Amino acid sequence: MADKLVMMLLTVDPDQPHVCGSPFFHAAAAASMDVDVEVYFASRAVRLLLKGVADQLYPGEDRTKSVYHFMQDAAKLGVKFYACGGGFSSLGVEGNDDFIAEFSGIAGATAYIQRVMDDEWKTITY
């Protein structure tokens, strides 16, 4: 079984909270199985890395657990969160102080493609 997973959040959009929880639930599940997990945020998904965004979103109508709580669960298990450089610059933020504590850094297309092309990594795209 592969022990490395890279996930791309391309169509995940904070304006559609119902699609924002599953990637982090899956990332946490993989990490709990001793899989190294990296999540790359592209396009509008990058907004989830900004303080105050994901903690106001709930993927279900019961509103018991925010998207940010799902993200924290994954991060506690070692999941890394990377923002696409292009998506990052489109936000107009000035530094890492605007991002959640779980933010791992900037990693763009080249980093993601390296993972995809490496036989040791499996890939999921949302």
User: Tell me, what's the pLDDT at 51?
Assistant: 93
pLDDT tens-place string over residues 36-62: 999 999 988 999 999 999 999 999 888
The values of phi and psi at residue 72, to 5°, are: -65, -40
Q: 54 with 20: CB under 8 angstroms?
A: yes
Q: For residue 19, give both structure tokens.
A: 């699609």
CA quadruple 52, 14, 91, 110: dihedral sign: positive
Indicate whether 84 pLDDT > 90.
no
Sort 107 into a burial class: Cβ within 10 Å, 0-12 / 13-18 / 19+: buried
Sheet of 36-41, strands arranged across:
103-106, 80-83, 36-41, 4-9, 122-125
pTM for the predicted model, two decimal places: 0.93
- If pLDDT is split at 50, 70 and 90, which confidence band does 96 have? low
The domain total for the chain is 1
Q: Domain of 91?
A: 4-125
The mean pLDDT of the chain is 92
* Cα 113 to Cα 40: distance, rounded to the nearest angstrom: 11
- For residue 97, pLDDT over 90 is answered with no
Between the CA of residue 36 and those of 3, 23, 85, what are the distances in Å? Answer: 6, 15, 22
What is the pLDDT, as a whole number, of residue 63? 87
Give Cα 99 distance to the centre of its chain: 12
The CATH number covering residue 67 comes to 3.40.1260.10
Rounded Cα–Cα distance for residues 39 and 80 (Å): 6
